[in-house]
Structure 1
Amino acid sequence: MSRQAPYILVLYYSGHGTTKALAYSIAQGIEDAGIRAKIRTVSTVAAETHAQKPLIPDEGDLYCTMDDLKDCLGLALGSPTHFGNMAAPMKYFWDNTVTLWLAGDLQNKPASVFTATGTMHGGQETTLLSMMLPLMHHGMMIVGIPYAEPALNRTHRGGTPYGASHVSGVSHDQPLSSDERELAVAQGYRLAISAKALAQADFNRKISA
């Protein structure tokens, strides 16, 4: 790992800004726990991929690099739901992480997932579960949201034990509800304290070896 200050990577793709809103709430929870949140996104993909995207987007958050991913203490991964699965740009990004997988760079790091849909039953839980799969193949440890969080029992919109979620409406114009935001912050906080504990355990193992 590099000598830069420890951070948790909040990596998202957002078409209408609703998944991005969740990402920033999760980042708040991470920083409430005393760890820096590094927010990154991924570029769009097209049927013809020979044209290169600029390395720095014209606006918004920076694109994620493999080093951003490799050096993180933990990961919060977010995507809108596209037919019950993560969006193509995020899937494309993970399809290109084989080098990190071969090196085991993400093993034993905590990860969590989050999503947004236009409708209440738009495939949030299948998207969250399918987003966990590449993380598990990388050897990451999945962190969800426990029912000890009151908002998980109270919410009438987004929010699942698998990860934070948001119902944005068919026009994607609904802001995060108070419960959705509360759960996203709680998820970020839980991810951060998990990352701290795992990093300390790894440090103790190395000095005692």
Structure 2
Amino acid sequence: MSEILVLYYSQGGAVREMAQLIARGVESVPGAKARLRTVPKVSATCEATEAEIPATGAPYASLQDLEACSGLAIGSPTRFGNMAAPMKYFLDGTSGLWLKGALIGKPAAVFTSSGSLHGGNEMTLMTMMIPLMHHGMLMVGLPYSEPQLGTTKTGGTPYGASHIGGALDDQPISEDEKKLCMALGKRLAETALKLQ
């Protein structure tokens, strides 16, 4: 069994929904299982500010979740072309795994949601890749053989799944965005199984 960790931070709910869609894509592959995890909010001084166990939703991720997974998908809202502070804070705490080489050779994918069409979602996807590449992970994107990449009027990039929520009106995840999330999860799971 190949277990894919789908790790996300979501403030308004869109990234959480994308994570659930990616998990569905992972679990559409025989022999693959998704493990949903999130990270707590942080304060302005970059300290975790929530209880050790969330009241609802996915449990908080641990370093053991990362070490045990066969592949990783991480998602965050866009914050000025970068991942949100809680995800960055969590990743900054993974140097022990880096020293052990625990993530080397595992496939990884990224996903994001922004408030506007040019809200920095592609840059956020790229910046989320950087720590994963330092860990020696193998990046998995979305090829143009996914027809929605050519037809979407909303989110979706070759770098990873994305959603454009609208600055003020919280647009639901479009059908194209949903299909691309599931395709990314499926591709990540298939890649993990091939690498095992």
TM-score range (shorter-chain normalised) is over 0.9
Gaps of 5+ in 2: none
RMSD: 1.3
3-state SS in 2 of match to 1:62: coil
Partner SS state of residue 73, structure 2: strand
TM-score (norm 2): 0.96
Q: Indicate the SS of the match to 1:29.
A: helix
Contact 2:41–2:49, Cα closer than 8 Å, also in 1? no
Indicate conservation of the 8 Å contact 1:118/1:172, yes or no.
Answer: no
Q: Percent identity?
A: 54
Partner of 1:14: 10
Rg bigger for which structure? Answer: 1
- 1:25 Cα deviation after fit: 0.7
Partner of 1:205: none
Give the conservation status (yes or no) of the 8 Å contact 2:154–2:177. Answer: yes
Give the 3 Å change call, closer, same or farther, for CA 135–172 of structure 1 in structure 2: farther
Residue 113 (1) aligns with residue 110 (2): yes
Contact (CA 8 Å) 1:100, 1:106: kept in 2 or not? yes
Q: 1:100 to 1:50 in 2, by over 3 A?
A: closer
Compute the displacement of 1:60 (Å): 1.7
Q: Work out the CA distance in 2 between the residues paired with 1:172 and 1:64.
A: 30
Question: Which letter does structure 2 place at the counterpart of 1:11?
Answer: L
Measure the CA separation in 2 of the matches of 1:159 and 1:134. Answer: 22
Residue-by-residue CA offset, 1:48-106 (whole Å, 9 max, x unaligned): 45676322112221100010111000000100000110000000000000000000000
Task: Provide TM-score, normalisation by structure 1.
Answer: 0.90
May I ask how many residue pairs the two structures share in their alignment?
Answer: 195
* 1:38–1:24 CA distance, 2 compared to 1 (3 A): same
Q: Unpaired segments of 5 or more residues in structure 1?
A: 200-209
Change (3 A) 1:184 1:169: same
| 1:158 aligned onto 2:144 | no
Contact preservation (8 Å) 1:9, 1:40: yes
The farther-off stretch of 101-110 and 47-56 is 47-56
For the pair 1:59 / 2:82, whether they are aligned, the reply is no
Following superposition, the deviation at residue 47 of structure 1 comes to: 2.0
